[in-house]
Structure 1
């Protein structure tokens, strides 16, 4: 499988995401959307509760006494960095739990946008979970330097920007994976393909990450991103490659 370079167009990726949002109410997709939405509601509820009670105290702990005079600058930077890191972690957990349903949602979306000739592909749950774990390990290893950077005074002014870019890339890998897995493309090849349309992928992932950071709306962003990713990939590969 090869991606057309038009996939590097951020507007194409953003348009596909918006189209994914518009298809959430499609009757044929409702049963595939409902369970992931419930899972997201539960996981993000836990994340919000933990963050509310523990995050502020943890951030205060990392500000040394001799930098108290810079507290008004450092505290927001710590808060933003740890919020993004923590929220990203809970997003990966939510997607890991909902992964089998997202695969079916992507296949069902393809059957709608591709017409009657597109087939609903059911990927074995074990295979899907294994792929999710590989992505989680890949992202987790690369998140460690950012965590270290986030707690180094002075240098951590760069952390929020780097976390945002990392989150966009992670969400691109996450949501574009489902239609690719349904086409039989595994993680190592997924990574290479998505890198070939890096700017489009970052735009798609960035929009998804931004939506996931919005309370209430984040509950429906994940299934919308799965549908949008399916639409996006259909636009940048040959039609029969995703059937």
Structure 2
């Protein structure tokens, strides 16, 4: 597997540093407000249901494994956190997709020059059909794999691996979710985008893994969406853009 997970994770940190740049602030506001609204709902839901959900997962463990409850409780607690925040993150990204596409465009302009000089509400409206179609493609990719993971989670014994599998899956989906914005802006197909991420899979997992972890940290999770869009755009520009523009093969570093 190509890429460097630490280099990948660093793109998210660099994305955070871009949020305060004067030229980007207007394009951060709407995704930020959407994130605040939805994650406030996620926090409320966890406050109301967290204990019941963890107890439900523990009830699926066979009696002969009950002596492992002390170990499984934190694992399933992590699983609940990942599921809730990941699910709310998907909804937030679907709603904010046009704004995220515009933010990715503006970040790339600052690094490579203009892609599209339009801005404002007219530009957002022009992005809506294309970005929602891409979000639908992501859901079509995500849902079958989600069902497989849910089935694995219900298999006795294999359940021990469920939290790790969920985290890896969440990391991969977060890489796909956010790297798709700059790649879509550059007419990279959804299938090609996945191939590019696979060519540097460890870097993608490092980036997506830190995004997934950030979703579970209060306050940080409110800023994670615009930071991840900005970081993923830097990832695209520095790891893929030049080779894709030249039509050359993407190889491991």
TM-score normalised over the length of structure 1: 0.88
Corresponding position of 1:73: 71
CA distance in 1, matches of 2:217, 2:209: 13
Contact in 2 for aligned 1:110/1:231 (Cα 8 Å): yes
1:136 matched to 2:158? The reply is no
Contact in 2 for aligned 1:16/1:228 (Cα 8 Å): yes
Corresponding position of 2:106: 108
Please give the secondary structure, in 1, of the residue aligned with 2:160: helix
Corresponding position of 2:250: none
Contact in 2 for aligned 1:77/1:156 (Cα 8 Å): no
The 5-angstrom pairing of residues 31-70 of structure 1 reads 31-62=26-57, 63=59, 66=63, 68-70=66-68
> Cα distance 1:84–1:198, how it changes in 2: closer, same or farther (>3 A)?
same
**Farther off after superposition, 141-150 or 175-184:** 141-150
1:36 shift after superposition: 0.5
Contact in 1 for aligned 2:100/2:229 (Cα 8 Å): yes
1:120 shift after superposition: 4.1
Please give the secondary structure, in 1, of the residue aligned with 2:23: helix
Gaps of 5+ in 1: none
Please give the secondary structure, in 1, of the residue aligned with 2:24: helix
Contact in 1 for aligned 2:153/2:162 (Cα 8 Å): yes
**Farther off after superposition, 187-196 or 74-83:** 74-83
CA distance in 2, matches of 1:84, 1:45: 16
> Cα distance 1:56–1:153, how it changes in 2: closer, same or farther (>3 A)?
farther
Corresponding position of 1:160: 163
1:71 shift after superposition: 3.0
The 5-angstrom pairing of residues 171-182 of structure 1 reads 171-182=174-185
Q: 1:87 aligns with which of 64, 85, 88?
A: 85
- Which deviations, in whole Å up to 9, do the C-alpha atoms of 1:63-100 show, x marking residues without a partner? 15836554323332222222212221111111111111
The 5-angstrom pairing of residues 20-31 of structure 1 reads 20-31=15-26
The 5-angstrom pairing of residues 139-150 of structure 1 reads 139-150=142-153
1:26 shift after superposition: 0.9
Q: CA RMSD in A?
A: 2.3
TM-score normalised over the length of structure 2: 0.85
1:119 shift after superposition: 3.7
Contact in 1 for aligned 2:9/2:209 (Cα 8 Å): no
CA distance in 1, matches of 2:224, 2:28: 11
1:241 matched to 2:239? The reply is no
Contact in 2 for aligned 1:168/1:208 (Cα 8 Å): yes
Please give the secondary structure, in 1, of the residue aligned with 2:146: helix
Please give the secondary structure, in 1, of the residue aligned with 2:188: coil
- Which deviations, in whole Å up to 9, do the C-alpha atoms of 1:166-186 show, x marking residues without a partner? 011000000100000100112
CA distance in 2, matches of 1:96, 1:170: 14
Corresponding position of 2:197: 194
Contact in 2 for aligned 1:107/1:120 (Cα 8 Å): no
1:240 shift after superposition: 8.6
